[in-house]
Structure 1
Amino acid sequence: MLSVRAVVVDAARDQPRVREVAEPTAPAGGVVVRVMATGLCRSDWHGWAGHDEDIVFPHVPGHELAGVVAEVGAGVRHWRNGDRVTVPFVCGCGRCEWCRSGQAQVCPDQQQPGFTHWGSFAGYVALHSADTNLIAVPEQVSFAAAAGLGCRFATAYRALAGRARLAEGEWVTVIGAGGVGLSAVMIARALGGRVIAVDRNAEALAAAADLGAEHTLHAEPAVQRDHTRGADGLDIPAAVAGLTGGGSHVSVDAVGSEQTCADAILSLRRRGRHVQVGLLPPVDGHPRVPMARVIGWELDVLGSHGMAAADYPAMMALIEQGSLQPQRLIERTVGLGEAAELLPDFDRATVAGMTMIDPSR
């Protein structure tokens, strides 16, 4: 039996290890992809920490990927060995009403590499329903840039273009300037938005400014549970209101905590739109959200769960034109061994961009 190197987690919160595992085989309707690049994302940390009930250990993480088709399963019509491809992190079944209407990101029978089955922190990964989920990667788009699209970049694009329907000239507050937050900054600027970026990391804020954020606000963890004041005394919602003349039209929580969600919602003007992108792990029950403000100001609170392959062409066209440059978001590239070391502490990482993994290293 052939084997490949992979990052393996034997149990929730165990130290990941690199070892040889069996090479995957293509499922019916699916493919095996040789992984050329894969992203290390906060969602991978949530899976490692045991926050995702779909994960069965031992497990191989990894859900953002790009590579080359290496094996084609029975019934696949549109893909051949050697094709350059990427895939959304949510893979629809291709049969249900949601997939047939182009909304595979909410497919009730979805598969997610790195969550529902072994993922892309390996030399090869199996993917399901290839004709529904695979996306061709143009030659001029690097594998690393394409890998970053699958979760953070595509999620940010759909959050702003599809869910919030950001209009030119509107203010956007992006809380969290990691991979998804910096993606949101870049995309909001490309769509004509005016951006305020909020983060605790000065380097991340500098990166946001370089990508077009008009203002950056340095936040600290809250001392009190009033969801407004950071430890340095900065009232984030009040600061945003002052900069925008009453609050942003759109807010994005790209972190996923009770504090950041509340700050984002309270940063909105009346009848504003909030998009929740960061996952909110339960701590002492479900996180508290300032619903009195949501009701009183008629705010829209929207979820964004990736983006279906059917919606990729518009985003890919902007990348090919150079209006969007996801490669600028890549801060570093590491090998599998370093990725295994980084994963357990990734929730506390102070990266100012995306971390990419080259499985050949």
Structure 2
Amino acid sequence: MLNIGNYNTDFGGTTMTMPLVGRSMRAAVLREYGEPLDVTEVDAPDPAADGAVIELEACGICRSDWHGWQGEWDWLGLKPPEGQILGHEPAGRVIEVGSEVENVSEGDQVTVPFNLGDGTCHQCRTGHSNTCENIVPLGLNEAAPGAFAEEMHVPVADHNAVQLPDGVSAVDMAGLGCRFMTSFHALAHQADVDAGDWVVIHGCGGVGLSAVHIADALGGNVVAVDLQSEKLDLAEDLGASETVNASEVDNVPRQVKAITDGGAAVSVDALGIATTCRNSIMSLGTRGQHVQVGLSTDDEQGSVELPTDMMVMQEIEFVGSLGMPPTRYDEIFRMVADGKLDPSAVVSETVDLDDVSAKLAAMSDFETMGIPVIDEF
């Protein structure tokens, strides 16, 4: 069972925190919630016996980083301590491995899931390591310093380091650590998307735009919902058949039902606020499926009032979706190789490590588009 609210900080009795000795590196460090990160020199990591150190080539800047930067999610045990290095969408090259590592080698280009698993618990052994019983969130827990840095440590590297296909761009793959693979798991594994199904995506941030692209690739007819016309234009470029500007209609579910002739088969809340959650459920037709991807904000503190009577009468299904098991990344890689998916299409810009604070501040007013990626550290 996922230990939400009390994230474990050691795997198998061996602490994930590794010695930081000898070398230095640049990193963006959280000193005070909501204030600019401190880009400074810190000790560089050495690998634990089962770990690896990667030199970062790219790291996405995610809204989850914004929540951590704001000091939110304490009700989930996810509030990062001051002094934390944030960042959880890495891609880079392995520069050193521990003595017990067997399947990861120096020089490998890898990505790392944001929800680090221990590789040994029942969930990990049965293919569900995204809900590892001892899960540790990369970049949000002091046991797992994040990827807003020149280097980062990967614990249990044989399990958590996912080798990227030859020849891919680290920038293009940066979103795989969180937003792109989260959307893929939600739609390809948790939802039942059949060819021609109406699929509604509520919220067109990085995870929502990824979901639009993936739902289209899976054969869905996609309706994208957002408050900003620029994001809806991008959603159309990524495969949305229809869009709804929530700032211009009185009733989003009514508009969606008009478009879909009675309601969608699958609807995704990609943002996590009460309004998008309820709108997503109310946008469904009979026996529709709501998929909750977005985590809530300080306003909801993890609880949202739902239309339960309607859900009973229409047999609406409510499904949660967290990250993606790294053992299934090959599914994405095959679709990328076949030209059916293009993670780079959701990357909006590349920035320097010194620009991270400005990008986080822009997220306060939902001013960022797609996935901004650090490629200079």
With normalisation by structure 2, the TM-score equals 0.90
Tell whether the 8 Å contact from 1:16 to 1:341 is kept in structure 2 after alignment: no
| 1:98/1:217 CA distance change after superposition, 3 Å | same
Aligned residues of 1:157 and 1:184 also touching (Cα < 8 A): yes
Shift of 1:23: 0.4
SS state of the match for residue 68, structure 1?
Answer: strand
Q: Structure 1: how far apart are the matches of 2:215 and 2:249?
A: 28
Q: Which residue of 1 aligns with 2:93?
A: 68
Residues of 2 paired with 1:194 and 1:342: CA distance?
32
2:59 to 38, 43, 51: 38
Contact 1:195 1:213 survives alignment (8 Å): yes
C-alpha separation between the residues in 2 aligned to 1:305 and 1:25? 29
Query: Corresponding residue for 1:226?
Result: none
Stretch moving more, 144-153 or 275-284: 275-284
Map 1:33-112 → 2, pairs under 5 A: 33-52=54-73, 53-54=77-78, 55-112=80-137
Residue type matched to 2:239 in 1?
A: G
Q: What is the distance in 1 between the residues matched to 2:91 and 2:205?
A: 20
Flag structure 2 segments of 5+ consecutive residues without an equivalent.
Answer: 1-21
Partner of 2:254: 238
Answer whether contact 1:113 1:127 (CA < 8 A) is retained: no
* Residue 215 (structure 1) aligned to one of 242, 265, 271: 242
* 1:265 corresponding residue in structure 2: 281
After superposition, the C-alpha distances for 1:162-210 in whole angstroms (9 at most, x for unaligned) are 0012111110000111111111111111110000000111111001111
* 1:153 maps onto 2:180 in alignment: yes
Map 1:110-259 to 2 at 5 A: 110-116=135-141, 117-220=144-247, 232-259=248-275
Aligned Cα root-mean-square deviation (Å): 1.3
Task: Kindly state the Cα deviation for residue 233 of structure 1 after the two structures are TM-superposed.
Answer: 4.0
CA shift for structure 1 position 138: 1.4
What is the DSSP-based 3-state SS (H/G/I as helix, E as strand, rest coil) of the residue aligned with 1:19?
A: strand
CA positional deviation for 1:84: 0.6
In 2, the alpha carbon distance for the partners of 1:287 and 1:10 equals 31
**2:311 matches 1:289:** no
- How far did 1:346 drift? 1.5
Distance 1:102 1:284 in 2: 31
When the two structures are aligned, how many residues end up with a matched partner? 349
* Deviation (angstroms), 1:283: 2.0
Tell me if the contact between 1:158 and 1:307 (Cα under 8 Å) persists in the aligned partners: yes
Letter in 1 for 2:359: L
Secondary structure of 1:61 counterpart: coil
SS at match of 2:35: coil
In 2, Cα distance between equivalents of 1:3 and 1:290:
53
Q: Secondary structure in 1 aligned to 2:289?
A: strand
**Aligned twin of 1:277:** 293
**Misfit runs of 4+, over 3 Å:** none
Q: Which amino acid aligns with 1:40?
A: I
Q: What's the CA shift string for 1:73-95, capped at 9, x where partnerless?
A: 12110011110101111111011
> Counterpart in 2 of 1:229?
none
- Residue type matched to 1:41 in 2? C
Q: Provide closer, same or farther for how the CA distance between residues 312 and 59 of structure 1 changes in structure 2, counting only shifts above 3 A.
A: same
Q: Displacement of 1:352 after TM fit?
A: 2.8
Partner of 1:355: 372
CA distance in 2, matches of 1:340, 1:72: 31
- After superposition, what is the alpha-carbon deviation per residue over 1:128-150, rounded to whole angstroms, capped at 9, x for unaligned? 11111211111232101111111
Cα distance in structure 2, aligned partners of 1:66 and 1:281: 28
- Asked if the contact 2:110/2:164 (under 8 Å) is kept, the reply is yes
Q: Residue by residue, what CA displacement relative to the aligned partner does 1:86-108 show, whole Å, maximum 9, x if unpaired?
A: 11111110110100111000002
Which structure ranks higher in relative contact order (CA pairs < 8 Å, sequence separation ≥ 6)?
1
Q: Secondary structure at the match of 2:36?
A: coil
Matched, 1:26 2:53: no
Identity of aligned residues (%): 40
* 8 A contact 1:111–1:128 mirrored in 2: no
Does structure 2 retain, via aligned residues, the 8 Å contact 1:89–1:151?
yes
TM-score normalised by structure 1 residue count:
0.94
**284-293 vs 201-210, which moves further:** 284-293
Q: Is the 8 A contact 2:359 2:368 kept in 1?
A: no
Deviations 1:274-293 (A, max 9, x none): 11111112426522222222
Please identify, of 323-332 and 349-358, the stretch whose mean Cα deviation from structure 2 is larger.
Answer: 349-358
Counterpart AA for 2:46: T
Q: Distance in 2 between matches of 1:108 and 1:345?
A: 35
Report the residue type matching 2:72 in the other structure: H
CA distance in structure 2 between the partners assigned to 1:74 and 1:115 by the alignment: 27
TM superposition shift of 1:11: 2.9
- 2:369, 2:229 → 1: CA distance? 9
- Residue 333 of structure 1: aligned partner: 350
- Cα distance in 1 between the residues matched to 2:172 and 2:202: 23
